Amino acid sequence: MPLTPQTAPVTYWLEHAWLGTHVEPSVAVDVADGRIAAVRTGVASPPPGAVALRGLTLPGLANAHSHAFHRALRGTVQVGSGTFWTWRETMYSVADRLTPDTYFALARAVYAEMALAGITCVGEFHYLHHAPGGARYADPNAMGEALLAAAADAGIRITLLDTAYLSAGFGTPPNHHQLRFSDGTAEAWAQRADALKDGPEHARIGAALHSVRAVPADQLTTVADWARARQAPLHVHLSEQTAENDACRDAHGRTPTQLLSDHGVLGPRTTAVHATHLTPEDIGLLGGTGTGVCMCPTTERDLADGIGPAPRLQAHGSPLSLGSDSHAVIDLLEEARAMELDERLRTRTRGHWTAAALLRAATADGHAALGWDDAGAIETGALADLTTIALDSVRTAGPPPRLGAETAVFAASAADVRHTIVGGRQIVRDGAHTRVSDVPAALAASIAAVRG
């Protein structure tokens, strides 16, 4: 079903609201045409006809980096040991079995799981474009359109980051798995991506470079120019593995960050994903150009990638966002918590970010990275996307409500999400999805259809 905003005026009464700097009790939020028309504080009880949201209400959470089909790997890739590269072989085996229909069913279930976790917008880093062997579907964007439809059906917003993926490595053609990903050239990628259109309410189209190993250096600018001409977000996996850095130096005599800089890829509309293994010069280049960085701590720890230099990146000028990436778990509160706690383990010091700063990464800065600058805040004119977290669960009970932000970030989990509202409509009500009646069953069935 299409995602349409709440057109009839509605008022939500927030028992406690996170307003960016503090928790405010008893807030009424008036919604019209899917946007916040007014924020009224000091409203002691729900006005007549208002919908009461009890707990702590935040702006909707933005998952800035997702590969929806990786959800089918959960559990399987945790058996035994292995490396990032052996994990990748398992990932390929799932990718090989997906069709537009099975991808729609899987993504719909995954996006419904995200809604249950309070996520109102997802950045889908999409490179699974063609049929096995590289044959084109009758609609060359059949797989991308399946993702757009899945997000609409699950009731969340999406930025489809259509991804250029053209080679297996520096100077190496795609392997037989990667033929599904490749358009052959950046020009052919751009021609196909041109046919994708923003949705009226829920969808925006962006671009991605899979990585410097997957897009030849002389074609990086083509993708960057495509995004620049449309003022669209541009994302890129960057320095996730030291092997990528070593191969890039061997091929080009510079780091991946330096290569992207040389070809005009960096800038305020660009987001580097992971950015784990950087030199001080790399950090200066990213921060100095205002390039954002999306950290994915639960995936980075699951794959033993390492801990990226997030505090230094932010100090140099890079806005931070968060993503669940391979969906080892889908929990943006855990991503926020993990970014701080991983840094504590690495440095043996505490307090690298406040709870407010971590919530900003999960909300306003995540939305900005996905091209939704009009979301991520509870303020007049913003999109009416909200997430309510219980303050009376076994994890959250006890602290005073004024410490709701700290409770949310450092104690709560996705299981504590009580309500999710997108465009003024309740997509999750009292912990139940209003559009997908049985999300676990939908996940189980759609994953079984693509597992060997």
Catalytic residues: 274, 325
Q: 32: left (phi > 0), else alpha (psi -120 to 50), else beta?
A: beta
Q: How many CB atoms lie within 10 A of CB 131?
A: 15
Pairing of β 157-164 and β 35-40: unpaired
Handedness of CA 388, 111, 213, 84 (dihedral sign): positive
**DSSP letters spanning 131-199:** -GGGPPPSSTTHHHHHHHHHHHHHT-EEEEEEEE---SBTTB---TTGGGT--SSHHHHHHHHTT----
Cα dihedral: 416, 118, 410, 321 (round 10) = 170
C-alpha pair distances (Å), 290 with each of 313, 369, 400: 10, 11, 37
Round to whole Å and give the CA distance between 31 and 150. 25
**DSSP letters spanning 85-96:** HHHHHHHHHHHT
Round to whole Å and give the CA distance between 365 and 323. 12
Angle at alpha carbon of residue 150, lines to 149 and 152, rounded to 5°? 65
Q: Which residues contact 260 (CB under 8 A, 6 or more apart)?
A: 209, 212, 220, 236, 238, 266, 272
> Which neighbouring-strand residues pair with 214?
none
Element (H, E) at 346: helix 332-347
